Amino acid sequence: MRKLFELIGLQIRWFIDLFYPPFRKYMALQFFRYGVSGVANMIFDWTLYFLVYHFVLHQQMLHVGILTFSSHIGALFITFPITFLSGFLLQKYVTFTSSELRGRVQLFRYFLVLLANLVLNYAGLKLLVDFIHLYPTPAKMIVTIFTTMFSYFSQKKYTFKKIDTQIL
């Protein structure tokens, strides 16, 4: 399965790299791959959420045992594990391919960075909307700029870091 993911990742990298030359002056190839794969996963998330919300849940409450979730929260719970995994696989096999950390370590760290991003999103939106009184959409755009940069450097330096094999 790993070899299949590596092969697919190689093909996706080749395709993304076709569009890199105009951006060469402005960003590193790895950051470009990160951005393209991140946007692709975001579009996948939005599409999957729409499909689950409208065609799986039919905009109805989700009943799970004794718990009941509104349809928009139910759709989030259903789609999150799928897009979490697809995002991880894209970052592992497309963007940060040279890390030698074990996959399960990378997956756990990826989850921690995702949780940190969730906290940053919440705090940033609370600050910008509730205290500074910006409109929610521009506030979300501002927060997204910061969380994207935080996420990129966290994934690069923590989740998918390269192991230094040099002896000091």
Using CA atoms, how far apart are residues 105 and 2, in angstroms rounded to an integer?
A: 15
Q: Do 48 and 118 lie in a common domain?
A: no
Q: Domain check: are 75 and 143 in the same one? A: no
- 73 is in which domain, residue-wise? 1-97
Check whether residue 89 and residue 54 sit in a common domain: yes
Tally of domains in the chain: 2
Task: Tell me which of 48, 78, 97 is where a domain ends.
Answer: 97
Q: Mark whether 50 and 81 lie in a shared domain.
A: yes
114 and 154 within one domain: yes
Residues 135 and 92 in one domain: no
Give, in order, the Cα–Cα distances in Å from 4 to each of 15, 29, 34. Answer: 17, 23, 20
Q: Give a yes or no: residue 135 inside a domain.
A: yes
pLDDT in tens, the chain (168 residues): 899 999 999 999 999 999 999 999 999 999 999 999 999 999 999 899 999 999 999 999 999 999 998 888 888 889 999 999 999 999 999 999 999 899 999 999 999 999 999 899 889 989 999 999 989 888 888 988 999 999 999 999 999 988 765 544
Provide the whole-model pTM: 0.84
Residue 151 lies in a domain: yes
Is 11 within the bounds of a domain? Answer: yes
In a domain, 140, yes or no: yes
What does the block give as tokens for 122? 């919440």
C-alpha–C-alpha distance, residues 100 and 164, integer Å: 10
